[in-house]
Chain A
Amino acid sequence: MKIKIKSQQDWWAGLMFIGFGLFFIVFALGTPEFIDRIAGAKLIGGYQMGSSVRMGPAYFPVMLGGLLAVLGLVVLFDSIVEKGPDVAKFHFRPLLFVAVSSLAFAYLLKPLGLVLASAALVFISAYGGHEFKWKEVAIMTVVLVIFSVLVFVKALSLPFPICPSFIDNCPIR
């Protein structure tokens, strides 16, 4: 018998919740013994369960994870019973550029300094939009860099390097 999924949205949501629930349970309890025996090593350590009087670190997460997995099953069951909407289209372009630009900023800030890291963020994220105009983005970059140096480093004194670490004499102080 083929099960017809009537609500794609709920189907995937249910799977996601079950996945998260199991994930937390497994990491809280550790891998079961028979799996460890097959693998030949303790895969995941897990935490102490404790008792209801003195709850160990695993107690609450296992409770919540179990509840989450069960409710995930309910959502999953719902998806084959009740009609619901499809999953809306994923737009990967903005997703990718926004994520990459914030990562670029984070990992460039210490080696390259605030000026270049912000410029990288602005350029990459702007590229993820519908229109990309070189001139506009360049002006925006300059304005934003000046603003953030003045406000965040000068006024709020966040401990960010302004210039790349390989430049000895930073012109901006």
Chain B
Amino acid sequence: MEGIFGNLAIGFIEVFKLQAITLGGMTMTLPFNIIMCLIGVLLGTLIGVLPGIGPVATIAMLLPVTFNLAPIAALIMLAGIYYGAQYGGSTTAILVNLPGESSSVVTCLDGYQMARQGRAGPALATAAIASFFAGCVSTLVVAMFAPPLAEVALKFGPAEYFSLMVLGLVAAVVLASGSLVKAICMVLLGLLLGLVGTDVNSGVLRFAFGISEMADGIGFVTVAMGMFGICEIIANLEQKEHREVFTSKVGSLMPSKEDWKRMWKPILRGTTLGSALGILPGGGALLASFGAYTLEKKVSAYAHQFGKGAIEGVAAPEAANNAGAQTSFIPLLTLGIPSNAVMALMIGAMMIQGIAPGPQVMTERPQLFWGMIASMWVGNLMLVILNLPLIGMWIKLLTVPYRILYPSILLFMAIGVFSISNQPFDCFLMAMFGLLGYVCVKLGCEPAPLILGFILGPLMEENLRRAMLLSRGDPFVFISPSKPISMGFLIASVALLVIIALPALRKKREEVFVAEEKT
């Protein structure tokens, strides 16, 4: 325990450090990391509040901007966007009955009902309190679980890494909604697209078709913006907009005494479940919130009130999605493996900064590692302090029509992509991937697994090659008894696939996802 607090202290010192910053020709001494954290959480809340733009597109949009920042400032800001979005998403869910963020879909159910009963204030406050509590706990969870995991990961060889990536991808696929086979196909397509560019081992230019801009491969920012950003915009433009904001008085924010009594247990349960689900590969905020709502419905004494404005239905999923958002940083920070599309972008951000994600980050750059973790707690504190007074502003933002929003989003994306290499070709690719993403969505294939595959493609090839070289071409090295960890990962992957392919479970899984779609 003492070690953790010592480490956290390093982190807090890093977060509050004063730095000399030169901006537009002026040099000032500022607590720069805190400012970046604030910007991150505010931006996160903003895009969380606005339906139609998610953290994936936003982080992708801002990645090129982070080129010039110090690594820690960049990562603190980007992380803030992700968990900030969880706070913002609930505001929209409660007031408009629209999920501002996909992970707040279930908050709509009871949150909006509470708002209709004139209890929007307590609902918003509950969401914020639940999120804050979960944020505090999961920061500690990250601080406690990351070091031992990283220690194990340091012993991993190429075979273990390859198998771990297989497990990560399989888990991501299993947890994706829709057809399992199609999701695997999307992963494979992503892996293949990730191989475009110069092959590290032989120097051969692969799948570049004589285009010089493709020599370094396809930028994953380009892919992410196309598949998520552009695709989201087109999909949103399909529907006529109708948004009914609950602008009637939000009322008193303070939950009543009974509310407090009813909410603390669901918050605890939501936090626990969310933290656990966040660590799983393929997990994260979305899965956590669904899991927590389902659990709460089963165990709560007020189960009959669910869907009619039960405060438990707001508290549990809101705690869970924030906990899940934060603990999903654990696999990223310790193993260098992304568990969802946002984490894939974080890996990209680290690579841009010249940091190879993996267990060595903690030992080689303790300031960065612990600074990022400490910033999560600080960010959560800022969110809860800022958000409740700022609710009026967020409500106003909700009245901004989408026809004004999307050209701005598009412009920022185009500027961001263009700035990567200062070539128009990247924007062209972004448009192409937007097209591909749109086609995929129409054909019932989710784009998220593709992004994960895309980021892992070169890593997997590299580790596969090394493992095969070390074993002199023996393909059984991955399941040999001398490599129990690798074997364990692969057995787990196969088990997951088999379990999910069993007819009974398949049906159950489909039911769950159908229920999700209805909500």
Contacts and interface: CB of A to CB of B under 8 A. Distances in A.
Interface of A: 9-10, 12-13, 16-17, 20-21, 24, 27-28, 47-48, 51-57, 60-61, 64-65, 67-68, 71-72, 74-75, 78, 84-85, 87-88, 90-91, 93-95, 98-99, 101-103, 105-107, 109-110, 118, 121-122, 125-126, 128-131, 136-137, 140, 144, 148, 152, 154-160
A53 B469 contact: yes
Given A55-B465, A57-B204, A98 B233 contact: yes
B234 A106 contact: no
A172 to B, nearest CB: 15
B502 interface: no
B442 A28 contact: no
A98 B408 contact: no
B185 A102 contact: no
B87 interface: no
Interface in B409-466: 410-415, 418-419, 422, 424-428, 430-431, 434-435, 438-439, 442-445, 460-461, 464-465
A18 to B, nearest CB: 10
Contacts of B182: 10, 13, 17, 75
Given A53-B469, A75-B182, A61 B192 contact: yes
Given A71-B181, A85-B444, A88-B442, A130 B237 contact: yes
Contact of A129 (B179, B403, B464): B403
12 contacts: A10-B444, A17-B189, A28-B206, A57-B202, A64-B192, A71-B181, A87-B442, A98-B237, A105-B411, A130-B237, A140-B404, A160-B419
Given A131-B403, A144-B411, A87 B443 contact: yes
Interface of B: 23-24, 65, 68, 179, 181-182, 184-185, 188-189, 191-192, 195, 199, 201-202, 204, 206-207, 230, 233-234, 237-238, 240-241, 402-404, 406-408, 410-415, 418-419, 422, 424-428, 430-431, 434-435, 438-439, 442-445, 460-461, 464-465, 468-469, 472-473, 475
Contact of B473 (A47, A53, A102): A53
Nearest to A155: B24
A126 B202 contact: no
Main secondary structure of the interface of A (DSSP, over half): helix
Nearest to A13: B443
Main secondary structure of the interface of B (DSSP, over half): helix
Contacts of A57: 199, 201-202, 204, 206
A106 B428 contact: yes
Given A72-B185, A110-B424, A129-B237, A65 B192 contact: yes
A9 B179 CA distance: 11
Nearest to A140: B404
- Interface centre among A17, A60, A91, by most chain B C-beta atoms within 10 angstroms, is A60
A47 B23 contact: no
Contact of A144 (B202, B408, B426, B473): B408
A152 B410 contact: no
Contacts of A16: 439, 443
B207 A55 contact: no
- Interface centre among A21, A57, A87, by most chain B C-beta atoms within 10 angstroms, is A57
Contact of A155 (B23, B206, B425, B465): B23
A130 B404 CA distance: 11
Given A9-B443, A16-B439, A155-B24, A74 B230 contact: no
Contact of A48 (B204, B207, B473): B204
A67 B188 CA distance: 8
A53 B199 CA distance: 17
Contacts of A131: 403
A68 B428 CA distance: 26
Contacts of A125: 406-407, 410
A101 B410 contact: yes
Given A24-B192, A64-B188, A144-B411, A102 B430 contact: yes
Contacts of A78: 179, 181
Contact of B195 (A56, A61, A122): A61
Given A17-B185, A102-B413, A60 B461 contact: yes
Contacts of A20: 189, 192
B434 A99 contact: yes
Contact of B407 (A51, A65, A144): A144
Given A16-B443, A95-B234, A121-B414, A103 B185 contact: no
Given A12-B443, A17-B182, A75-B179, 14 more contacts: A9-B443, A20-B189, A47-B202, A52-B475, A68-B188, A72-B185, A95-B435, A99-B230, A102-B414, A103-B428, A106-B418, A121-B411, A122-B408, A158-B415
Contacts of B179: 10, 75, 78
A148 B415 contact: yes
B427 A106 contact: yes
Contact of A68 (B189, B204, B406, B422): B189
A129 B413 CA distance: 18
